[in-house]
Structure 1
Amino acid sequence: MGKIGIYGSSFDPITNVHLWTASTIRHRCKLDKVIFLPCSSKRKDKQMQTEDFHRWNMLKMAIENNDTFLADDYEMKLQAWNISTYETLNYFKNKYKHDTIYFIMGADLLIDIGKEKWGNSDLLVKENKFIVMARDGINMLKAISESPILRNHDDGETFHLIDKGLAMEISSSYIREEFSLGGEPRYLLPESCYNYIREHSLYQ
């Protein structure tokens, strides 16, 4: 029986911070695998700057030399109305029936779930396990205690709270802006992805 973390994001583009975060969490939480899950471009709350196949190509290039990292395009293939984190986690629990699945997210998303802003919030928390990354200005323990949904399912195993120990918050949007303004974000993302962006004139 293994331990697998599901790490969802737009990855538009994937950055060195994404990779460092995944590596840190895998090491700290003793995960066997981290699955990178790029979100669908059809989601109404997301606005992608590139076509799906570019995001997918860069993601695969970024993780190709790490056998503990996997990529899964499950959500990319879904239509917007079919996308639900609750259903996504059910999919992975069925796919990896003999492993323990953890959903990796930031503390800001923990607050949203606690306020029932996500579909099936109660069942989502009741039936799953989470690795929650610290965010500046968010008290994770307070967030759990102030939400009936979160605190009533806090059995000591549902939430694994982790502070990475270093505030590296360089975002994909920052990198996109740098490219669009003629900046030089070369060392903020994998070299292969940097070259790919240049080759395909992305984010110009």
Structure 2
Amino acid sequence: MKQIGLFGGTFDPLHVGHMVVAECVREAEELDEIWFVPSHIPPHKENASVSSEDRYEMVKEAIATNDRFKVTDIELKRQGKSYTLKTVQELKENHPDCLFSFIVGGDMVDTLGKWYRIEELMDEISFIGVRRPGTTFETSYPLSTVESPLLAISSSEVRERLDNGKTVRYMVPEPVYSYIQRKGLYGC
């Protein structure tokens, strides 16, 4: 059975910290692949700054050279709020040959109790928590833990820098940087 780590997020935009986390989790948990799952409408945040299609394309371009990274548009096709439970149930139904785990950063670990139908979700999938700066990483929910190099880069910082006319080169993968420039996203 193929071992897949699901890495959900807004990815607004995807940055190098996301890439490092994905690779560290894949290696530490001995996963066959990491599937990036860009949200359509994140239930825990305000709307994203750019369209879900642009965020999906940025991820797709960024991971193109890593054959162990994939991206799925499952949440974009479903429309509406992107609840993890619905995504996991649909993926399990469509890929019965795969065993899925869900990757969450420390900021999300701290809020698991607020997730949509969390008890049911815990019955559907195991969680892998990744430590992030400034989070307590305390939860009563079962999860495995992966240590990753702490890169203090956030998508909100990337957006703020772009909004202020500053460069984000090397903060985001080169294909993401090129896509942002090419499409004039985030005020560029």
Counterpart of 1:18 in structure 2 is 18
- Partners of 1:137 and 1:174 lie apart in 2 by 15
Q: 2:130 aligns with which of 124, 133, 141?
A: 133
C-alpha displacement of 1:109: 2.0
- Partners of 1:132 and 1:39 lie apart in 2 by 19
TM-score (norm 2): 0.90
Moved segments of 4+, more than 4 Å: none
Establish whether residue 202 from structure 1 lines up as the match of residue 174 from structure 2. no
- Partners of 1:118 and 1:37 lie apart in 2 by 17
Alignment of 1:102-141 (within 5 A): 102-113=101-112, 115=113, 117-140=114-137
TM-score (norm 1): 0.84
C-alpha contact (below 8 Å) 2:133/2:152 kept by paired residues? no
C-alpha displacement of 1:137: 4.6
C-alpha contact (below 8 Å) 1:13/1:172 kept by paired residues? yes
Larger radius of gyration: 1
- Partners of 1:44 and 1:169 lie apart in 2 by 21
Counterpart of 2:164 in structure 1 is 181
Please give the secondary structure, in 2, of the residue aligned with 1:13: coil
Residue deviations 1:112-138 (CA, integer Å, cap 9, x gap): 22x3x1221111113321111113354
Counterpart of 1:50 in structure 2 is 50
**Equivalent AA in structure 2 for residue 100 of structure 1:** L
Please give the secondary structure, in 1, of the residue aligned with 2:150: coil
**Equivalent AA in structure 2 for residue 200 of structure 1:** K
C-alpha contact (below 8 Å) 1:44/1:80 kept by paired residues? no
**Equivalent AA in structure 1 for residue 87 of structure 2:** T
Residue deviations 1:131-172 (CA, integer Å, cap 9, x gap): 1111335454xx34xx3xx2xxx4xxxx211121x2113011
Please give the secondary structure, in 2, of the residue aligned with 1:187: coil
- Partners of 2:136 and 2:41 lie apart in 1 by 31
C-alpha contact (below 8 Å) 2:39/2:52 kept by paired residues? no
- Partners of 1:135 and 1:44 lie apart in 2 by 18
- Partners of 1:39 and 1:4 lie apart in 2 by 18
Counterpart of 2:9 in structure 1 is 9
Establish whether residue 72 from structure 1 lines up as the match of residue 72 from structure 2. yes
- Tell me: CA distance 1:127–1:160, structure 2 relative to 1, closer, same or farther (3 Å): same
In structure 2, runs of 5+ residues without a counterpart are none
